[in-house]
Amino acid sequence: MINSMLLATAVFAATAGIAADSAYVRQIQDWQSKRVERLRAPGGWLTLVGLDWLKDGNNTLGSAKDSDIVLPKAPARLGTITLDHGKAAIVLDAKSGATIDGKPQREAILLDDSHDKPTMVAWGTVSFYLIQRGDKFGLRVKDTDAPTRTQFAGLEYFPIDPSWRIEAKWEAYDPPHEVEEPNVLGQIDKVVVPGAAVFERDGVAYRVEPVVETPGDTEYFLVFADKTSGHETYGAARFVYTEPPKDGKIVIDFNKAYNPPCAFTPYATCPLPTSQNRLKLRVTAGEKKYRGTHE
């Protein structure tokens, strides 16, 4: 009788474990599907076709070769952006046919991407908005008919492995540290590091430092590289978001690690890992190297 009870308990525990693993696999598969949807959306990263930096003063826009900034599918003379002490103002040509925030107005002060809704200038399938990186201002140009979108090759992943859902010890910094984080433009950004996540893998301790991208964010952001980088995975880095720490623990689910926009387009401005976030470990979870091209 006792043996039967023990056997039944073992079977129940094993079945419960399989059910839990199946639920987790479905959760990650759902996340992966939504990841593809975001990429392929009309405003997603696959539509990015240009990044043009503004100079101080007047910047003429259009498809004409003598334009300061030559834009795809634009009329010969689209308009002019004047950059003055960090403020960018646009005046569209009367015959441009372009819109500003969906309206047929001709003039506007351009809000950059630090705002929830940067000012959008659009014509046909193409649009742009202003971005600021350090002391530089540029136009992020998107086209819903971009080959990177219409010829998207899909994403590949390592097998989903629950063991890569890491529950790490959280070591809070008091006060939070400000560290220098490089980006692909060669610039250095100051980011806030609230603490470190410490975990073990195969008996070896590792330590990574996620950042708070914007004050008030409800998620932490980790830019990391590992020993798969440049081989099975994108060479520069991968990204993963985490929930804030709770009860001295933080969960990093590397099954949700994904490629930065720079893996799909040469026109993105991606951050790179700090030295602390370059792991001497093969993270065989999450998104693999994109098999498509930038063309």
What are φ and ψ of residue 73, in 5° steps? 60, 15
Residue closest to 73 by CA, chosen among 102, 98, 110, 105: 98
d(CA 63, CA 79): 11
Q: What is the largest CA-CA distance in the chain?
A: 90
Which residues of the chain carry a pLDDT beneath 50? 1-18, 295
Tell me the two tokens of residue 227.
């020993």
Q: Are strands 220-224 and 238-242 parallel, antiparallel or unpaired?
A: antiparallel
- CA 232 to chain CA centroid, Å, is 19
Q: Are 138 and 54 in contact (CB under 8 A)?
A: yes
Provide the 8-state DSSP code for 112: B
User: Is 184 in a helix, a strand, or coil?
Assistant: coil
- CA 14 to chain CA centroid, Å, is 38
What are φ and ψ of residue 28, in 5° steps? -70, -40
pLDDT tens digit string along 18-51?
455 899 999 999 999 999 999 999 999 999 999 9
pLDDT at 134: 87
Q: What is the pTM of this model?
A: 0.87
pLDDT at 292: 82
pLDDT at 218: 86
pLDDT tens digit string along 130-143?
999 989 999 999 99
Q: Judge: domain 47-146, CATH 2.60.200.20.
A: yes
Half-sphere exposure of residue 12: CA atoms within 13 angstroms, side-chain side = 6
Residue closest to 225 by CA, chosen among 168, 283, 292: 283
Residue type, 30: D
